[in-house]
A and B are shown apart, each in its own frame.
Chain A
């Protein structure tokens, strides 16, 4: 088998990010000499850990415009989303058993909603427009007197589109419905302010923002107060909303990562936006029939989700194995179904099979992108030469006019 010839290039920053070395440095002492249990109230080891946890809580709160007391630490955004949806619905559900969410949410939101449905709660799944954004009028129309919660993600993990959080927050506040947003992909990428945006609950993940894996947070508003039923019970930590000993080193890292964002986010996103626009332009100049999935304007800096028509995504990935990207192709998923997010946008299934998600982040260089653009373009050209669909397109045959035997 061919060995990897060059250093692999990481362009999958939506999947996860490397932990920033400054974050690692901040964490290290809390594994060894400062190892105390932050809930130990009667000795200095505990106090030292507790102090570090509270600093981290403040750092996380600051990046979203919250107060430290409103931040509940969890194991990650999946847990936060579970706690937000199940916790709120189970507290308020007797009088208000209705939840509104969106078809393009992350699986952990959709699956929490499914579980709630099985328990008898009512769920409305809003569709999206072909740019990936929800229709605010549709949201307004979906809210009833029985609606307890609206859950709309800040930034989509696959296509990077930014939902109009401030407008959604205003609608929810006016209708006295709680607003939860999964911001795993949004924190550090867009300006967030829970006050200005009227956000009542927000899920955050550390490993998407150059922090460690295994930790996240749920912002839970105190005024007006949002109540949740704990999903993990025990010693009553985190104001009773989430029991379990807090992992001090992870929290210190999470806090430090947020602190870095508070200082460097604007500059970083400007640089990444420039790299993204450069990359898209280079692809468009070189290759015909490529399509950007998701809105081009309302989009985070680091996300390029592109369909390279007539070339199937998994085979493209095999050709560029030196470059780590993600694909919306069915063949890369266990279910053999193409991306449900792309299908929700109304992207033709054949185009969904041809998509790549190119994720640009903190450590991406222009040289790496040049190499990736070249490598992807060569692969697309090679595979198109091999593609019967490309051949038909060149002959002017509309592939939609053919009666395909779907299998």
Chain B
């Protein structure tokens, strides 16, 4: 399968790999996917009191497209408000990385991961649940 240069770049030089302390109140953690399905993404965001995502980290078990999708979304959400980050669509990720059709689910997983992280942050900070992506 021929992958795009952007995808390969994110796979070979992934941005923002790492972990934050999930017990900190200013950290939101999203863990989505399932080992049995072959992909699990953990995406964490560090949020300022003003509601801006100042840092993002990920760890992903999955194919090259899953790793690249999570790397890309950590780049995109940095500096964004929670609402802006929560409105990123999987189709944007798929288009940016030129994902082949069988890999679209990787971009959906990345969208789920950021929504789950935002939801976790809001729950921790008493801002109520937001709808997780389906």
From known contacts A312-B61, A388-B31, infer whether A406 and B37 are also in contact, taking CB-CB under 8 Å. Answer: yes
**What distance in Å separates the Cβ of B115 from its nearest Cβ neighbour in chain A?**
13
B34 CB contact (under 8 Å) in A2, A311, A318, A404: A404
Interface members, chain A 361-407 (any B CB < 8 Å): 385-391, 399, 404-407
Interface membership of chain B positions 10-44, coded 1 if the CB is closer than 8 angstroms to chain A and 0 otherwise: 01101001010000000000011111111111100
Chain B residues, CB < 8 A from A406: 34, 36-37
**What distance in Å separates the Cβ of A7 from its nearest Cβ neighbour in chain B?**
21
Chain B residues, CB < 8 A from A2: 8, 12
From known contacts A336-B102, A386-B67, infer whether A404 and B36 are also in contact, taking CB-CB under 8 Å. Answer: yes
Taking chain B's interface residues, is the majority helix, strand, or loop, or is none over half, making it mixed? Answer: mixed
- Cβ of A79 < 8 Å from any Cβ of B? no
Contacting pair B64 A315 (CB below 8 A): yes
- Cβ of B79 < 8 Å from any Cβ of A? no
Interface membership of chain B positions 92-109, coded 1 if the CB is closer than 8 angstroms to chain A and 0 otherwise: 000000000011010001
From known contacts A310-B61, A314-B64, A404-B33, infer whether A388 and B42 are also in contact, taking CB-CB under 8 Å. Answer: yes
- Cβ of B63 < 8 Å from any Cβ of A? yes
Interface members, chain A 293-334 (any B CB < 8 Å): 310-312, 314-315, 318, 329-331, 334
Contacting pair B34 A387 (CB below 8 A): no
Question: Once bound together, how far apart are the Cα atoms of A330 and B38, in whole Å?
Answer: 7
- Cβ of B78 < 8 Å from any Cβ of A? no
Contacting pair A315 B67 (CB below 8 A): yes
- Cβ of B80 < 8 Å from any Cβ of A? no
Contacting pair A407 B35 (CB below 8 A): no
- Cβ of B50 < 8 Å from any Cβ of A? no
B60 CB contact (under 8 Å) in A353, A387, A399, A405: A387
- Cβ of A255 < 8 Å from any Cβ of B? no
From known contacts A404-B34, A405-B34, infer whether A391 and B63 are also in contact, taking CB-CB under 8 Å. Answer: no
Chain B residues, CB < 8 A from A1: 5, 8
From known contacts A312-B39, A330-B38, infer whether A388 and B61 are also in contact, taking CB-CB under 8 Å. Answer: yes
Contacting pair A349 B36 (CB below 8 A): yes
- Cβ of B124 < 8 Å from any Cβ of A? no
Contacting pair B63 A312 (CB below 8 A): yes
Question: Once bound together, how far apart are the Cα atoms of A331 and B60, in whole Å?
Answer: 15
Contacting pair A385 B8 (CB below 8 A): no
Minimal Cβ-Cβ distance residue in A for B102: A336
Question: Once bound together, how far apart are the Cα atoms of A402 and B19, in whole Å?
Answer: 19
A318 CB contact (under 8 Å) in B11, B35, B42: B11
Of B3, B40, B102, B109, most A-chain CB atoms within 10 Å:
B40
**What distance in Å separates the Cβ of B95 from its nearest Cβ neighbour in chain A?**
19
**What distance in Å separates the Cβ of B131 from its nearest Cβ neighbour in chain A?**
15
Contacting pair B59 A386 (CB below 8 A): yes
Chain B residues, CB < 8 A from A387: 59-61
**What distance in Å separates the Cβ of A329 from its nearest Cβ neighbour in chain B?**
6
Question: Once bound together, how far apart are the Cα atoms of A88 and B61, in whole Å?
Answer: 47
Chain A residues, CB < 8 A from B103: 331
The 4 tightest CB contacts between A and B, nearest first, are: A350-B35, A404-B34, A388-B42, A349-B36
Give chain A's interface residues, CB within 8 Å of chain B: 1-2, 310-312, 314-315, 318, 329-331, 334, 336, 338, 348-350, 353, 385-391, 399, 404-407
Give chain B's interface residues, CB within 8 Å of chain A: 3, 5, 8, 11-12, 14, 17, 19, 31-42, 59-67, 102-103, 105, 109
Known: A334-B102, A406-B34, A407-B34. 7 other contacts (CB 8 A): A312-B66, A331-B38, A349-B38, A391-B19, A399-B35, A406-B37, A407-B109
